[in-house]
Chains A and B, each alone.
Chain A
Amino acid sequence: MNIMYLQLLLISIVTALACVLPGNFLILRGASLISDALSHAILFGIVVTFLIVQDIHSPWIFLGAIISGIATITITEALTKSGKLNHDAAIGLTFPFLFSIAVILINLFANNVHLDTDAILVGELAFAPFYKLYIFGNDCGPVALWAMSIILCINIACISYFYKELQLTIFDPIYAQTMRYQPRLFHYFLMILTSITIIQAFHITGTILVISFIVTPAATAYLLTTKLHEMIILSCLFAIITVLAGFLIAHNINSSIAGSITVANGLLFFIIILIKKSRLTSIK
């Protein structure tokens, strides 16, 4: 097991943990598919910003992606609030629109660049260790690891600091409003956290598999407990387990790492459901 393999593993674990933290709250809010919408919309932000600054590693791209994430949420909310479209339809209308514009822009203007549609959809985790961070000429390890670790820390910090507010606005929004905590504000806060996480994670996992990182371990944890802090801890544990399992699978059948982790997530979920069902029938 060489150092590059370990770095890949570490990046994956950090990514999975960073994704699963907001994922818990998204599931409780019933907004899991927003992560689908966000990941497609973020591509739009990345492409448009790239076409303006013409540099794939520019920091403006991060800003552009966040703005497009917020814009998607705002448009979706506006469509839903108008009463003319229900929430699901609003989501399903907005993100393909933005994604289509992004795809056409890529085809027209950025055909020979790094934004390859295959990589976007499935990520290029295997290449992550090759982009290293050089501070004063010293190799400090992969950029992806640093970037994702920062995001993990941001997520942990934000969720810890606002834990009570998040808990309140999700489980009892009307009471929260009477206590002058605006659920809307925390909804947007959660979306921004998710957007930041997806922007960095999607280099590693691709557009669609990031949904698995966000939703599935948290959903598995949700099946097993009714306490929020237990759910968060369990989901982190499951995320680590499935990353390890995914690596084993990918190594043995020589396949996509992000795909294998996703499948491991699904398998764990399925196993937990089976265990629960067998417990229920045996109680009779």
Chain B
Amino acid sequence: MLATFYKILIGTTLVGITTGIVGCFTLLNKQSLLGDTIAHATLPGLTGMFLIILQKSYALLLFAAATTGLLGAFCVHFITHNTKLKKDAALGIVLSTFFGIGVMFLTMIQKLPTAHQAGIDKFLFGQAATLLHSDIITLMIIAGIVITTIIALWKELKIISFNPAYAQAIGLPVAKIHAVLTCLIVLTVIIGLQTVGLILMSSFLIAPAAAARQWTNKLQIMVWLSVGLSLVATTTGTIISCNYPHVPTGPAIVIIATTITLVSIIIAPNCFVTGKAQQL
């Protein structure tokens, strides 16, 4: 029992760290809902790959998920830049269409005679207890790639998030770095897939970063704070979920994280965020 708990804890911790970091940059770049769309876009990759290979080879499934997730992000970019549709419509179209393809594959899987198909739908809400030792190693490697990339590109990401026009003026490859950020979002979503599921991924990317933003306007502090708050939420959520078997891990963490964010918004001093209130 304890081994299972530690497995789940490692899984959710990895999710917490990566979403805490990457979420800061998506929040600052105003791309919060892109994570949600990418998460939903991974479903056709998971279910489609399973239809092809008919076994739960973790690495292949995740690779397919990453591919369709990236494809979804590319479609959003294409629609936004090549048609008069705005980003919200592009996100909605890609999210629902890709998810619809995934659902079609899922119903095809459910009609198969093999017994192995139980578990593909666990990617919707996550089930960290079924992680194998090798799976955890894979997730750690992916998390390592995310963290290393962020550290390597820290200065560029910082300028681009706060002042993209200046960044372009001094010759930084803004578009390429946005593409890298999108890839990092995809990798982060992949880590979250089996531990907390894809439905709730948007909250993981938004809540800790939003909470941290209320307390500081320095990027480095924001990222550390975001990771810290994220880990508080993931650890508490995991402990609660393991002690009360009917409480699934993903939702538990989301509730705690969102509460932390709401409390932060209410009690944090006003000096750090002076956004203009939007008018209708």
Contact = CB atoms under 8 A, between A and B. Distances in A.
Contacts of A261: 100
B134 interface: no
Interface string B21-48: 0000001001111011000100000000
Contacts of A229: none
B101 A259 contact: yes
Interface centre among A93, A184, A261 (most CB of B within 10 A): A93
B200 interface: yes
B45 to A, nearest CB: 15
B207 A93 contact: yes
A262 B247 contact: no
Interface in A217-266: 219, 222-223, 253-256, 258-263, 265-266
B239 to A, nearest CB: 15
Contacts of A209: 96, 99-100, 103
Contacts of B255: 97, 100-101, 104
A207 to B, nearest CB: 9
Contacts, number: 201
Interface in A134-168: none
Interface centre among B40, B84, B108, B278 (most CB of A within 10 A): B278
Contacts of B97: 212, 216, 262-263, 265-266, 269
A7 interface: no
Contact of A266 (B86, B93, B199, B246): B93
A79 interface: yes
Contacts of A254: 108, 111
B33 A84 contact: no
Nearest to B44: A263
Interface residues of A, number: 66
Nearest to A185: B280
A30 B88 contact: yes
B273 A84 contact: yes
A157 B121 CA distance: 40
A265 to B, nearest CB: 7
Given A215-B93, A256-B107, 11 more contacts: A32-B88, A96-B199, A96-B200, A104-B248, A118-B121, A122-B107, A223-B85, A258-B103, A259-B107, A262-B97, A263-B97
Interface of A: 27, 30-33, 35-36, 79-89, 91-93, 96-97, 99-101, 103-104, 107-108, 111, 117-118, 121-122, 173, 183-184, 187, 206, 208-209, 211-212, 214-216, 219, 222-223, 253-256, 258-263, 265-266, 269, 273, 276-277
25 contacts: A27-B88, A32-B89, A33-B92, A35-B92, A36-B95, A80-B277, A84-B213, A85-B265, A92-B36, A92-B202, A96-B199, A96-B203, A97-B203, A100-B255, A104-B255, A108-B247, A206-B103, A209-B99, A211-B96, A219-B93, A259-B104, A260-B104, A263-B104, A266-B97, A277-B82
Interface of B: 27, 30-33, 35-36, 40, 79, 82-86, 88-89, 91-93, 95-101, 103-104, 106-108, 111, 121, 124-125, 199-200, 202-203, 205-207, 210, 213-214, 246-248, 250-252, 254-255, 258, 261, 265, 273-278, 280
